[in-house]
Amino acid sequence: MPARPDPGAFRKRFLAGETLLGTFVKFPTGHSTELLGSVGFDFVVIDEEHGPFDRVATDQALMGARAGGISGLVRVPDTGRLLGALDDGAVGVLVPHVSSPEKAREVVALCRYRGGRRGFSNTTRAGDYGGRGMWPHVDAQDAEVAVIAMIEDPEALECLDAILATPGLDGAFIGRGDLTVALGAAALTAPETQAATEKILAAARKAGKPVCIMVAGATEAQDWKALGASAFIVSSDQGFLRQAAARTAADFGPLKS
């Protein structure tokens, strides 16, 4: 396998519009993140919102990301979990339900030292357990941490320009699942969801902000890439295990009949 990019360079790569491949991590262990790094994924999103993660499990998963040489991001369930994720070494955060510019500003402030109000500590993994001095740590974290707003509410569609113009907000993740449910659409591919997704992508292009989106695979990713998306999440550790296990069970079906 060719040399891997620095996991700490995720924000730089995301802002540059590189095509990035990631997946969600649902199992509260470091093994998934380490394994996914070893096969060539660019990033993982540790899913505190929909997975059984407490602070210790997130810490272990981020340690696994470092072992696997993969960028470790965290999807927090609420803004109260941001500080722990960042101190434990997350190189980025996904924050659900950013539906107003006020919420976007709050999220950015909690993730930034200079001009924000992130609680300070450099005796964490993020600060090399005290190995980085106060101001080197402040500057490194402000430069390295990617702050990504999840756009997944109908009300966010009415103020997209203001949300995406928030200083310090690096980009958006389009939550098509939540949008589909909120809009009462039949499926992710329904016209209502498609129109909302394209509207978000158009606003992001206008603002010069990168977009991450969840897709079924490379074919669908190509379609969204043509409209401006650059970071793609495919399935999850849980999903990959289920798919592989189901294929094996089906293969053995004839032998058991």
Q: Convert the pLDDT of each residue in 102-142 to its tens digit.
A: 999 999 999 999 999 999 999 999 999 999 999 999 999 99
Residue 3 has pLDDT above 90, yes or no: no
- The average confidence (pLDDT) of the chain is 97
**Cβ atoms within 10 Å, residue 55:** 13
CA-based radius of gyration for the chain: 18
Residue 2 belongs to some domain of the structure: no
Strands (E), 99-203: 146-151, 171-174
E strand or H helix at 180? helix 176-183
CA 190 to CA 177: how far, in whole Å? 11
pLDDT at 186: 97
Query: What percent of the chain lies above the pLDDT cut of 90?
Result: 97
Task: Give Dmax over CA atoms of the chain in angstroms.
Answer: 67
**CATH number of the structural domain spanning residue 235:** 3.20.20.60
> Residue 187: which pLDDT band, with cuts at 50, 70 and 90?
very high
Strand 211-215 relative to strand 171-174, pairing: parallel
Q: Is residue 190 a part of any domain in this protein?
A: yes
Establish if 136 belongs to a structural domain.
Answer: yes
How much is the average pLDDT of 211-237?
98
* 1 located within any domain: no
Instruction: State yes or no: is 50 an active-site residue.
Output: yes
Q: Note down the domain range covering 225.
A: 7-256
Q: Is residue 205 part of a domain?
A: yes
Residue 4 binned pLDDT confidence (cut-offs 50, 70, 90):
confident
Q: Is residue 237 part of a domain?
A: yes
pLDDT at 257 over 90: no
d(CA 213, CA 7): 20
Total domain count, the chain: 1
**Is residue 160 assigned to a domain?**
yes
Q: Distances from the Cα of 87 to the Cαs of 69, 82, 113, 141, in angstroms?
A: 18, 9, 12, 10
Domain assignment present for residue 235? The answer is yes
Please report the pLDDT score of residue 256 as a whole number. 84
Position 2 pLDDT exceeds 80: no
Q: Provide the pLDDT for residue 122.
A: 98
Among the options 31, 50, 97, 137, which is catalytic? 50
User: Which residues, including other chains, have CB under 8 Å from residue 166's CB and lie 6 or more apart?
Assistant: 101, 104, 105, 108, 149
pLDDT of residue 102: 98
